Amino acid sequence: MKLLELSEVSAAYGAVQALRGLDLVVGEGEIVTLLGANGAGKSTTLRSISGLLTPNAGEIRFAGQVISGLHPEKVVRLGIAHVPEGRRVFPGLSVRENIMLGASNRRIARAEMARDTAEMFALFPDIARFADTLGWMLSGGQQQMVALARGLMARPRLLLLDEPSLGLAPLIVQQVFRIIARIRETGTTVLLVEQNARIALSVADRGYVLETGRLVVSGKPDALWNNEEVRAAYLGGKRLSEEQKPA
Amino acid sequence: MAIILQLLFTGLGIGAVYALVALGFVLIYRATNVVNFAQGQFAMLGGYCMVITTVDLGLPYWLGILITLVVMAGFGAIFNLGVYYPLRHRSFLPVVISTIGASILITNLVLGLYGPEPTTLPGVIDFPGVSLGAVFLDSQYLVIIAVTLILVLLQYFFFEHTLVGKKMQAVSQDKEVASLLGINVTGMIMLTFAYSAVLGGIAGVLVAPILFVSVGLGAQIALKAFAASIIGGFGDVPGAIAGGLIIGVAETLGAFYISVPYKDAFAFILLFAFLLIRPQGIFGEKVSQKA
Ligand SMILES: Nc1ncnc2c1ncn2[C@@H]1O[C@H](COP(=O)(O)OP(=O)(O)O)[C@@H](O)[C@H]1O
Ligand SMILES: [Mg+2]
Percentage of residues in chain B having pLDDT higher than 90: 60
CB A60 within 8 A of CB A9: yes
CB A162 within 8 A of CB A42: yes
Measured between beta carbons, the chain A residues lying within 8 angstroms of B173 are: 90-93
* pLDDT averaged over every residue in chain A: 90
Residues belonging to chain A with any Cβ–Cβ distance to chain B shorter than 8 Å: 50, 52, 71-73, 76-77, 81-82, 84, 88, 90-93, 97, 100-102, 104-106, 110, 113, 150, 154
CB B19 within 8 A of CB B237: no
| Residue among A110, A111, A109, A131 at smallest CA distance from A120 | A131
Calpha distance A91→A137 (Å, rounded): 8
Chain B, residues 38-77, CB within 8 A of chain A, namely none
Question: Which residue has a Cα nearest atom 11 of ligand 1?
Answer: A18
Span from the CA of A43 to the centroid of ligand 2 (angstroms): 4
CB neighbours of residue B291 within 10 Å? 9
Tallying the residues shown for chain B, one arrives at 291
CB neighbours of residue A113 within 10 Å? 19
Supply the ipTM of this predicted assembly. Answer: 0.91
Calpha distance B13→B184 (Å, rounded): 37
B161 part of contact set with chain A, CB < 8 Å: no
Calpha distance B2→B12 (Å, rounded): 15
CB B251 within 8 A of CB B263: yes
Q: Could you give the count of Cα atoms lying within 13 Å of B280 in the half-sphere of its Cβ? A: 5
Give the start-to-end residue ranges of the domains of chain A. 2-85+153-244
Span from the CA of A166 to the centroid of ligand 2 (angstroms): 10
Calpha distance A201→A217 (Å, rounded): 14
A93-128: per-residue pLDDT in tens? 999 999 999 999 998 988 999 999 999 999 999 999
| Residue among B249, B209, B260 at smallest CA distance from B7 | B249
- For ligand 1, is residue A43 a contact (CB within 6 Å)? yes
Mutation target vs A (from B88, B160, B180; most A CBs, 10 A cutoff): B180
CB A218 within 8 A of CB A208: yes
| Residue among A55, A44, A125 at smallest CA distance from A82 | A44
CB A54 within 8 A of CB A72: no
Q: Which of A52, A76, A91 sits opposite B182 (nearest CB)?
A: A76
Q: Do B184 and A73 touch (CB under 8 A)?
A: yes
Torsional class of A237: left (φ above 0), alpha (ψ -120 to 50), beta (otherwise):
left
CB A224 within 8 A of CB A201: yes
Q: Do A77 and B182 touch (CB under 8 A)?
A: yes
Calpha distance B183→B40 (Å, rounded): 30
Q: Which one of A4-13, B118-127, B228-237 scores highest in mean pLDDT?
A: A4-13
What is the average per-residue pLDDT within A233-238? 55
Calpha distance A101→B31 (Å, rounded): 17
Instruction: Return the CATH fold of A2-85+153-244.
Output: Rossmann fold (3.40.50)
CB A22 within 8 A of CB A6: yes
What pTM, to 2 d.p., does this model score? 0.88
Measured between beta carbons, the chain B residues lying within 8 angstroms of A92 are: 169, 173
Order of all β-strands in the sheet with A16-27 = A16-27, A2-13, A57-62, A65-66
Q: Which of B169, B173, B179 sits opposite A72 (nearest CB)?
A: B179
Who wins on pLDDT, A240 or A16? A16
Question: What phi and psi values does residue A39 have, to the nearest 5 degrees?
Answer: 85, 5
* Residue B56 burial by Cβ neighbours in a 10 Å radius (0-12, 13-18, 19+): exposed
Calpha distance B51→A83 (Å, rounded): 52
Least confident of A8-22, B107-121, B141-155: B107-121
Calpha distance A17→A29 (Å, rounded): 31
What pLDDT does B121 receive? 86
Percentage of residues in chain A having pLDDT higher than 90: 74
- For ligand 1, is residue A36 a contact (CB within 6 Å)? yes
Nearest 10 degrees: CA dihedral of A233, A235, A236, A238? -70
Query: Which residues pair with residue B218 across a beta bridge?
Result: none
| Cα-based distances in Å from B32 to A136, B68, B91 | 20, 25, 11
| Cα-based distances in Å from A10 to A22, A228, B27 | 7, 28, 38
Closest ligand, as measured to the CA of A210: 1
- Contacts for A162-165: CB closer than 8 Å, 24+ residues apart: A162/A42, A162/A43, A162/A46, A162/A82, A162/A83, A162/A84, A162/A85, A162/A193, A163/A42, A163/A43, A163/A85, A163/A193, A163/A194, A163/A195, A164/A83, A164/A192, A164/A194, A165/A194, A165/A195, A165/A196, A165/A199
Most ligand 1 atoms within 8 A of CB, residue of A9, A16, A165 to mutate: A16
| Cα-based distances in Å from A26 to A52, A53, A192 | 20, 20, 11
Question: Which residue has a Cα nearest atom 16 of ligand 1?
Answer: A41
What is the average per-residue pLDDT within B188-199? 95
What pLDDT does A240 receive? 43
Q: Which of B169, B176, B182 sits opposite A93 (nearest CB)?
A: B169
A173-230: per-residue pLDDT in tens? 998 999 999 998 989 999 999 988 889 999 999 999 998 999 988 989 988 888 877 7
Question: Which residue has a Cα nearest atom 24 of ligand 1?
Answer: A39
| Cα-based distances in Å from B165 to A49, B129, B169, B233 | 29, 37, 6, 22
B291 part of contact set with chain A, CB < 8 Å: no
Helix or strand run (H / E) with residue B187: helix B185-207
B51-101: per-residue pLDDT in tens? 999 999 999 999 999 999 999 999 999 999 999 999 988 888 898 899 999
Q: Which of B166, B176, B179 sits opposite A97 (nearest CB)?
A: B166
- For ligand 1, is residue A136 a contact (CB within 6 Å)? no
| Residue among A64, A70, A3, A60 at smallest CA distance from A32 | A3
| Cα-based distances in Å from B176 to A13, A14, A83, B181, B219 | 16, 18, 11, 9, 34
CA of B285 to nearest chain A CA: how many angstroms apart?
A: 15
